[in-house]
């Protein structure tokens, strides 16, 4: 197990290097001059040239990237062009908001998705099965920002029971978490249904029923436990999707998280902030995938990492 963890951690390095190169190339391909934004619209060309030289933007791209990697090795993600604060400080300030939103969305996804999938699989081709699959199709199809706006319209504008924006307390996270959690729960519901249907007709399930085991125990103890491998996989993959959904949700609900920070940084052409935030999110996603792989051995004794 330990050697497997070390191996996976080492594999993270080329992955993150690839992400850093790709993001670096993409953001430097975007039209616009960050030096002009930093200097101001009324600044002269001489002032803009001085700012560009101070920021190192006159250097070739490979030199700029080399400087960035050298600083990255020491834990320095750079300084934000917009706020003139260390990017790592900006990230750590906003990360609690994003991680709380993502965790709440994952909880909603698991609860709604598992229940809907099991509810559908226990009566295949029935009215409730078709209704559940219609719900999942609707959940997969609807955009996060549209659902967020509809939730604001209903619960904030008409019913006035939940705030429409901000991140000051728990109640501010409910609507955005529902907005991004429901979409992923639809995907989980469809996967849970197919996975449970595959297991429920196997011999050990029929044996449990023949022994007189209650149907709830048959479903939740015997069937679901043996159908968890693909379910855990999709939960891990959806974590990255939920982080991406947080970008839209934080913008729609005016939350001070990493997603909104990235959008603001892109608008300002804040190269260090964009690079640092994307690399930070990529590292978290890789770590989550490692945790998901380790969970396989907990639900299936046949899985070993020797």
Residue range 229-276, pLDDT digits in tens: 788 888 887 887 777 667 778 888 888 888 888 888 888 888 888 888
Q: Name beta bridge partners: 86.
A: 79
Per cent of the chain over pLDDT 70 is 95
SS3 for 31? coil
Q: Please give the angle made by the CA atoms of 164, 170 and 173, to the nearest 5 degrees.
A: 45
In our burial notation (b when 16+ CB lie closer than 10 A, e otherwise), range 172-207 reads bbbbbbbbbbbbbbbbbbbbbbebbbebbeeeebee
> What does the alpha-carbon distance between residue 143 and residue 271 come to, in Å, rounded to a whole number?
28
Mean pLDDT of all residues in the chain?
82
Question: How confident is residue 142, by pLDDT bands cut at 50, 70 and 90?
Answer: confident
**Does residue 229 form part of some domain?**
yes
User: Which residue range forms the structural domain that includes residue 140?
Assistant: 87-299
Count how many domains the chain has: 1
Q: Among all chains, which residue has been given the structure tokens 């109640």?
A: 171
**Does residue 44 form part of some domain?**
no
**Does residue 46 form part of some domain?**
no
CATH code, 211: 1.10.3720.10
> What does the alpha-carbon distance between residue 6 and residue 115 come to, in Å, rounded to a whole number?
36
**Does residue 124 form part of some domain?**
yes
Query: Which of 59-68, 113-122, 136-145 is the least confident region?
Result: 136-145
Query: Which of 27-36, 61-70, 102-111, 134-143 is the least confident region?
Result: 27-36
The answer on pLDDT for 304 being more than 70 is no
**Does residue 287 form part of some domain?**
yes
The answer on pLDDT for 306 being more than 60 is no
**Does residue 110 form part of some domain?**
yes
pLDDT single digits (tens) 217-231: 877 777 777 777 788
The answer on pLDDT for 213 being more than 60 is yes
**Does residue 103 form part of some domain?**
yes
Question: Structure pTM?
Answer: 0.82
**Does residue 33 form part of some domain?**
no
Range among 24-28, 51-55, 174-178 rated most confident = 174-178
Q: Which two tokens stand for residue 87?
A: 């990017």
What is the pLDDT, as a whole number, of residue 5? Answer: 75
């Amino acid at each position: 197990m330990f050697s497997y963890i070390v191996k996976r951690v080492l594999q993270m390095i080329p992955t993150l290097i690839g992400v850093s190169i790709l993001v670096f190339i993409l953001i430097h391909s975007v039209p616009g001059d960050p030096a002009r934004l930093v200097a101001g619209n009324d600044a002269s060309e001489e002032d803009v040239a001085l700012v560009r030289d101070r920021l190192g933007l006159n250097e070739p791209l490979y030199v700029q990237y080399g400087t960035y990697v050298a600083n990255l090795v020491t834990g320095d993600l750079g300084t934000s062009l917009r706020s003139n604060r260390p990017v790592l400080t900006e990230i750590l300030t906003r990360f609690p908001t994003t991680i709380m939103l993502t965790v709440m969305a994952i909880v909603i996804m698991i609860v709604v998705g598992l229940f809907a999938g099991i509810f559908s699989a226990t009566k295949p081709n029935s009215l409730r099965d078709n209704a559940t699959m219609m719900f999942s199709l609707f959940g997969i199809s609807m955009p996060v920002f549209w659902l967020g706006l509809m939730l604001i319209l209903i619960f904030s504008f008409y019913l006035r029971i939940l705030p429409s924006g901000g991140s000051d307390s728990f109640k501010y996270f409910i609507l955005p978490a529902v907005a991004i959690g429901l979409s992923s729960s639809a995907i989980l519901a469809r996967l849970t249904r197919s996975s449970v249907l595959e297991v429920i007709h196997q011999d050990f399930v029929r044996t449990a029923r023949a022994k007189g085991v209650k149907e709830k125990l048959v479903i939740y103890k015997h069937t679901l436990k043996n159908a968890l491998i693909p379910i855990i996989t999709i939960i891990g993959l959806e974590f990255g999707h939920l982080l991406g959904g947080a970008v839209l949700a934080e913008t729609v609900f005016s939350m001070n998280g990493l997603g909104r920070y990235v959008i603001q940084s892109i608008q300002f052409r804040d190269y260090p902030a964009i690079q640092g935030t994307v690399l930070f999110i990529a590292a978290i996603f890789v770590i989550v995938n490692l945790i998901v792989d380790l969970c396989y051995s907990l639900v299936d004794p046949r899985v070993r990492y020797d």
